[in-house]
Amino acid sequence: MKDIIIFGIGKIADVIQFYMREESGLPVKAFTVDHAYIKEPSFNGLPVDAFENIEEKYPPEKYSMFVAVGYHNLNEVRAAKIKEAEAKGYEIISYVHPQSSVPKDLVYGKNCFIMNNVCIHPRVKLGDDVFVWSGAMIGHHSTIGDHCWFTSAANISGNVTIGNNCFFAVNATVAHSVTIGNEAFIGANVLLTKNLEDGKVVIAESDKAIKLNSKQFLKFSNFSNL
């Protein structure tokens, strides 16, 4: 395995580094962010270097990268940084906690993060850049698109299809065989039993989407403050 650079110096990067280094003993060697966001030369005892020229100090032939950014703009910020890192030649790795409950046939892409104490059934496919936090459940034969985020205790039933850039809050539940489009925001404690079109937000009444689409909703909420 190559040494690892983590993109990000926020709370998500802090958690990712803890699991990689403290729980799994992976060789995390440095952090990187855009130069404008560097306030201190180090983070958690490791150097922080500007992403703009990161390949000069940490060549992609010797280092891989994980993009540890939150769900800002329905995961679009993280998706963009993955593309930028790949353009520099970096291999984008995934992390699956050794104590996660995942079946041998689980299919997942790059920059995925699967925490301990999740429950993922057989015949599940995860796209690129899918984050699954502890306590979340993804049922059998479900297919998840790219750049999705499942917070703790989110529950996805069997045979569900989910598009790209979706967010599922704590205790959100999706019923069996439901199809959800791209850029959906499913709020805490929502029970979703019907199919949902692209860009819909469900935060209060079961199955009832609010009038704002997901991008409009983000502008009027504190969703991206993490």
pLDDT in tens, 48-87: 999 999 999 999 999 999 999 999 899 999 999 999 999 9
Instruction: Give the burial class of 9: count Cβ atoms within 10 A of its Cβ; 0-12 exposed, 13-18 middle, 19 or more buried.
Output: buried
| Domains contained in the chain, number | 2
- Beta-strand relationship, 63-67 and 113-114: unpaired
Output the domain CATH number for residue 43. Answer: 3.40.50.20
pLDDT in tens, 102-148: 999 999 999 999 999 999 999 999 999 999 999 999 999 999 999 99
d(CA 28, CA 33): 15
Residue 108 domain boundaries: 96-207
Q: Are residues 163 and 140 in the same domain?
A: yes
- Domain boundary residue among 87, 111, 138? 87
Q: Are residues 101 and 201 in the same domain?
A: yes
Query: pTM for this structure?
Result: 0.90
Output the domain CATH number for residue 116. Answer: 2.160.10.10
Q: Are residues 164 and 100 in the same domain?
A: yes
Residue 169 lies in a domain: yes
